[in-house]
Amino acid sequence: MITSYLQIGGSLSGLMCGIVLVHAGHKVTIIEKDTDERQSHMAGVALGSDADQYLASHDRMVNAFSHRSLRVQALNADETIRIFVNGRRDITSWDTYYFRLRAILDHNNQQQTQTMADLVIGADGPDSFVRSKYLPTTKRQYVGYIAWRGTVAETEVSASTRETSRRSVTVHMMHRHHCIMYTIPGANGSLESGERLLNFLWYTNESQGALQDILKDRIDGRKHHNLVPAGRVREEVWNAQIGYTKSVPLPTPFLEVMLKIRRPFIQVITEFCSPRAAFEDGRVLLVGDALSLFRPHTAFSATQAAFHASRVEEYVSGKISLQAWEVRVLRYSCLHWAQSIWWGKFYQDHMSIAVLAGFRYWWYCGTDRVLSWWNMEDPLLRTSSNRVEEYDW
Ligand SMILES: Cc1cc2nc3c(=O)[nH]c(=O)nc-3n(C[C@H](O)[C@H](O)[C@H](O)COP(=O)(O)OP(=O)(O)OC[C@H]3O[C@@H](n4cnc5c(N)ncnc54)[C@H](O)[C@@H]3O)c2cc1C
């Protein structure tokens, strides 16, 4: 019988798994290598239907902590708007979500100091130490593009730009690159009008050679790998990107926000999907980004974390077998990983290549349908259009 739990990694997946175990009456030890107060990138984290279900079971706080968008819309070069997809999307920020989960966990759990455990959960992110022990060749891969990112306070932009983003995720598509913009909570999770932030991302394809220069640290000149944090992007690199807006050119709301970003950061887009999730006869599990890292276009990592945590709950309570646990989490992750690749290639690549990625994704969707029907379960595929609903403006 499993009685003690050790979790490696105390970010969103780690906290979500910790909460389900503590609520089931277990004591959990979480080992987190970052000892400092956690710093968000002040970027958006979308909740999804799995996160909704998870929070409905485990979160007793009633105050909202996410901003609701009702659609994804395309802003065309002539500044007309076209609705891309109607669908609810609740978006929070990493630190708002992190401290919400911490409040639930810390309230219920007294951290243990033991290091012996019956079950180890690897929630240690894309560069997982746990995964590297069992799957040393499964590593994150650069997908050929990066995101130029930053946030601007709502109060700093014009009323028309604010209105464009009020209830919409807005995309501007160009030839093999695109920008996206949406509203997220402000400092301390504030959802008050004027205190929220506009979150801006511009994805551009960059060669390995160009990355050598782009990823060089402003202060010590060393090359970053997956992220150049705020405060470390070289001024000439950011200014060159601003200069590039003139030749593109970006529609006014995007240009306005980009020019007002004071603390830009750069994210290198990487991905992988593990072929296995359980080791040592089910005594070691992988969850969250340690198991599968998606491209960001579907904003799905926190949803995946919630799905994995809920399945861990079912596994440790004996509702599902280890084999059923592993099959479900792998199928879910592989399906949404393929979905994120399809969207990434749609935005950033030649249409012929995107269509090939699309065929693979649609094949996974078909397989999901058939297997779900065969097993008499709900399909694992999640789409934003599952959640279309009216909202009181
Ligand atoms: C500080 C931070 C800020 C983030 N900000 C954003 C954001 O603004 N927007 C966004 O979309 N996503 C953000 N993310 C990523 C987001 O949390 C994940 O994509 C997703 O929610 C799933 O998270 P995860 O817990 O599986 O992995 P991660 O969030 O990557 O967490 C892994 C955790 O494991 C810890 N860890 C790694 N190795 C070890 C080890 N050997 N021993 C102990 N601990 C270890 C890491 O320090 C980290 O806290 C952020 C992640 C972090 C860590």
pLDDT per residue over 201-220, tens digit each? 999 999 999 999 999 999 99
pLDDT of residue 166: 87
Could you please state the CATH topology (level 3) that the domain comprising 4-40+97-139+273-384 is classified under: FAD/NAD(P)-binding domain (3.50.50)
Cα 16 to Cα 21: distance, rounded to the nearest angstrom: 9
pLDDT of residue 273: 98
Tell me the best of 7, 39, 94, 128 to mutate to test the pocket of ligand 1, counting ligand atoms within 8 Å of each CB and taking the most.
94
The closest-lying atom of ligand 1 relative to the alpha carbon of residue 39 is: 1
pLDDT of residue 64: 94
* Among candidate residues 134, 378, 162, the one with its CA nearest the CA of residue 257: 162
- Taking CA atoms only, the protein residue closest to ligand 1 atom 3 is 40
Say how many Å lie between the CA of residue 35 and the centre of ligand 1: 13
Running along the chain, 393 residues long, what does each successive block of 10 average in pLDDT? 77 96 89 75 88 95 93 93 92 94 79 73 97 98 98 96 93 96 94 95 98 98 96 97 91 96 97 98 97 96 97 95 97 97 97 96 97 95 56 31
Helices (H), ranges, the chain: 12-23, 49-58, 94-108, 129-134, 159-165, 208-214, 235-247, 252-260, 301-316, 322-348, 351-375
Say how many Å lie between the CA of residue 25 and the centre of ligand 1: 25
Cα 35 to Cα 57: distance, rounded to the nearest angstrom: 29
The single residue listed with the structure tokens 């749609």 is: 346
What are the tokens at 146?
């990066």
CB hemisphere CA count around 134 (13 angstroms): 19
**Would you list the domain boundaries of the chain?**
4-40+97-139+273-384
The closest-lying atom of ligand 1 relative to the alpha carbon of residue 291 is: 26
Sign, CA dihedral 289-293-299-303, equals negative
Say how many Å lie between the CA of residue 125 and the centre of ligand 1: 5
DSSP label at residue 110: P
pLDDT of residue 111: 58
Q: How many CB atoms lie within 10 A of CB 103?
A: 12
Tell me the best of 8, 12, 36 to mutate to test the pocket of ligand 1, counting ligand atoms within 8 Å of each CB and taking the most.
12
- Taking CA atoms only, the protein residue closest to ligand 1 atom 29 is 11
pLDDT of residue 118: 86
Provide residues with CB under 6 Å of ligand 1. 8-14, 31-34, 38-41, 43, 45, 93-94, 123-126, 129, 288-290, 301-302, 305
Cα 90 to Cα 369: distance, rounded to the nearest angstrom: 26
Q: What letter represents residue 211's amino acid?
A: L
Q: What percent of the chain has pLDDT over 90?
A: 83
pLDDT of residue 388: 36
Length, in residues, of the chain: 393
Sign, CA dihedral 104-106-110-112, equals positive
Q: Which distant-in-sequence residues (6+ apart) come within 8 Å of 311 by Cβ?
A: 320, 325, 328, 329
pLDDT of residue 192: 94
Taking CA atoms, 362 is separated from 51, 127, 335, 380, in Å, by 24, 29, 9, 13
Cα 171 to Cα 359: distance, rounded to the nearest angstrom: 24
Taking CA atoms, 37 is separated from 56, 93, 95, 106, 109, in Å, by 27, 16, 10, 15, 19
Beta strands 27-31 and 44-46 are unpaired
